[in-house]
Amino acid sequence: MSAADEYIEKNRDRFIEELAELCSFPSIANQGAEGIRACRDWLGERLGRFGERVETLEAGGMPSLYAELPGTGRKSVLLYQHYDVQPVEPLGLWDSPPFEPAVRDGRLFARGACDDKSDVMARLQAVETLEAVHGELPLTLRFLIEGEEETGSMTFDRIVEDNAGKLRADGCIWEAASFNNRGRPEVIFGCRGLLYLQLKVSLLNFDQHSSLASLFPSAPNLLVHALASLVDQDQRVAIAGFYDDVVAANEDDRRVMAGIDPELEEGRRLIGFDRLVGEPPPDRMIEQLLFTPTCNIDGITTGYQGPGSMTVLPASATAKVDFRLVPRQDPADIQAKLRRHLDSHGFEKVEFEWAELEKPSRSPIDSFLGRTVLETEEELFGQPPAVWPFGAGTGPMHPIAEGLGVAIVGPTGAGRPDSRLHAPNENVRLDDYIESIRLIVRILERFGAGQ
């Protein structure tokens, strides 16, 4: 064991307790600022222990935290994380309260344990470890901890633009990727884009008795027909021009993706699906996952859904819909095409109540930071990580990677397929969490010493 490993092992219990304390804050960005502020203040105090001034960066939305920690080397790294979390519903499916962290069977259960508070704490504890072992940092670190990632990072572009001079670095370590079902580490170099909208139809002033449905129009019927018009039976998006800017995978992409195990049978057991959309062969599953944009209905709300019956003709109906977009698709362009589609198909009364837009992003795999992460992971884990040219999910990478020109890498963190991100009983394995601290320490040491 290295001196850093010994320090981490000696402080293992305290590190886990600190993670649990961070997970106790109900920092749900879309449910008000109270929990966000308390979590931000706790993190600000924790960052302040390193002796540097901690700043709050805001642009009209939830605040981000920024701190620069100078080091002796010439290189610098931007560390991106977020401290906001998803809502906890349905609450009844949690085995323990989501903001009362509980340890069971070697795992910590809490909302945010995996996404993304384990990354936040692992990186703070990696800094503590480096300073304790070496007395100094081998490079300059710039922490950026966002407070509205789970609500679409609505003001993040402006925060980055307004603070470009502070945020530029020789590379950016993003929030972490995960292990696959077989325990192989994974590394990502980008993300898909996102257009998320809330649609609403209002046809009456108030709900009516259902016997009047022979006279009055139905908001749910109109909304359901509008939603059904967006995709065909094969789930291919039916919006005119939707695929205009889609770029297919090239041979380099396919070579990289060939190293990713699709884990078909493991996924079938864990998730419980009968068949995949389009039934792709195993060697095309990852390509379809990454390079096929989607239209997904997240939820529909209308009328009465309580116990027993209530005969009602709802006056209004809403739906939440998301589109995952591949590199070169622009969410603003897709939103405009969606509006034209609805209007041209007789759905002018379907309104956009609000929308979240994030552009897709890709960074080069062979950047110096990229090579550093891949080499370090192979050394630590005893096997080369699976390389994802970009992830299937979405994050606000575009302002950093394309806006500032800073290459991004998402190294392996504490997540696994059964970590239940965005679901009840979110968790991390404690051994994985401790290993993620060791990994960040090694990456920073190697990158700081490299030429």
| Active centre residues (catalytic) | 84, 149
In one-letter notation, the amino acid at residue 232 is D
Joined together, the tokens standing for residue 134 give 């070496």
Residues contacting residue 352 through CB under 8 Å, at least 6 positions apart: 197, 198, 199, 335, 339
Sign of the CA dihedral with 342 first, then 348, 350, and 353 last: positive
What one-letter code names the amino acid at 437? I
**Preceding peptide of 90 cis, ω within 30°:** yes
Contacts 24+ apart (CB under 8 A), 209-212: 209/311, 209/312, 209/313, 210/311, 210/312, 210/313, 211/311, 212/313
Say which residue the tokens 């997904």 belong to.
296
* 314, HSE (Cβ side, Cα atoms, 13 Å): 17
What is the distance in angstroms between the CA of the first residue and the CA of the last residue of the chain? Answer: 26
DSSP labels, 156-192: HHHHHHHTHHHH--S-EEPSPEEB-TTS-BEEE-EE-
**Residue 267 structure tokens:** 């996924």
